[in-house]
């Protein structure tokens, strides 16, 4: 589903099974897939993308907001096709330690293959697509959010959703760090809030109202 020029959203709407929302960012010949979700659902994701005129061969890079299985398991599909994947340095440490047990908890094998690009806080450019990587721990130790200043678009992973926040009771979670991350995100100029689950939020006023609601409703419990 095209959200606006260069941004495509593939929301997960099956309430009976867990998976994440996926997004594609596209500028000229550069196409980046963010959070492919569970491997068994990647074929359906690629069919939806093709309906938007995006072929699998167009994908230059896969970026994961964090290493939980419902966001990262689909990496296997792309690693088998020699498409590079990226994850934050902090989250890679988590994936190689506690993350192994986390995949086992869900009855899944951890994707085999290296993380090609270790993301750091700051500007990240792939060809002519200029993004900002924000380290936003709380849901997981090395969670990142991805901000596209040109589009005023924020892909928030499982840090913040529409009227909700990411869990902090998983290994490496921290309510205090999650609050700090959300406070930081709330200062950005955002027209499109693209979360890892639930519906997207469009329009600066609605995005601002969502941050304000989150602070009122959740901060005293985190």
- Only one residue has tokens 């398991």, namely 73
Q: Give residue-wise pLDDT tens across range 35-64.
A: 999 999 999 999 999 999 999 999 999 999
Tell which residue, 124, 171, 150, 160, has the closest CA to residue 6: 150
Question: Residue 166 and residue 196: Cα distance in Å, rounded?
Answer: 9
Beta strand segments in 64-210, E: 84-88, 117-119, 122-126, 129-135, 144-148, 153-157, 160-161, 164-165, 192-195, 201-202
Other beta carbons within 10 angstroms of residue 208's beta carbon come to 14
Query: Under a CB-based contact definition with an 8 Å cutoff, are residues 61 and 117 in contact?
Result: yes
Cα 12 from chain centroid?
13
Q: Give residue-wise pLDDT tens across range 107-159.
A: 887 777 779 999 999 999 999 999 999 999 999 999 999 999 999 999 999 99
Q: Give residue-wise pLDDT tens across range 190-206.
A: 999 999 999 999 999 99
Question: Residue 140 and residue 196: Cα distance in Å, rounded?
Answer: 13
CA angle 109, 110, 113 (to 5 degrees): 130
In this predicted structure, the answer to whether residue 101 has a pLDDT above a threshold of 90 is: no
In what order do the strands lie in the sheet containing 129-135? 122-126, 129-135, 144-148, 153-157, 192-195, 201-202
Q: Which residues pair with 165 in a beta bridge?
A: 160
Query: Under a CB-based contact definition with an 8 Å cutoff, are residues 151 and 191 in contact?
Result: yes
What pLDDT score does 110 carry?
A: 79
């Amino acid at each position: 589903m095209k959200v606006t020029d260069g941004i495509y959203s593939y929301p997960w709407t099956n309430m009976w099974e867990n998976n994440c929302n996926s997004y594609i960012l596209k500028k000229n010949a550069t196409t980046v897939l963010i959070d492919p979700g569970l491997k068994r659902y990647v074929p359906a994701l690629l069919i939806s993308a093709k309906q938007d005129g995006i072929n699998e061969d167009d994908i230059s890079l896969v970026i994961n907001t964090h290493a939980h299985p419902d966001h990262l398991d689909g990496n296997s599909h792309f690693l088998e096709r020699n498409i590079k994947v990226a994850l934050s340095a902090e989250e890679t440490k988590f994936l190689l330690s506690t993350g192994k047990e986390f995949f086992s908890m869900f009855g899944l094998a951890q994707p085999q293959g290296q993380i090609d690009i270790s993301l750091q806080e700051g500007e990240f450019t792939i060809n002519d697509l200029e993004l900002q990587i924000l380290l936003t721990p709380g849901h997981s130790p090395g969670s990142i959010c991805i901000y596209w200043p040109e589009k005023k678009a924020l892909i928030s992973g499982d840090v913040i959703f529409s009227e909700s926040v990411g869990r902090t009771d998983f290994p490496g979670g921290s309510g205090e760090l999650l609050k700090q991350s959300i406070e930081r995100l709330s200062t950005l100029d955002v027209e499109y809030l693209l979360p890892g689950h639930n519906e997207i939020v469009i329009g600066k006023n609605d995005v601002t109202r969502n941050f304000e609601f989150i602070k009122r409703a959740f901060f005293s419990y985190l």
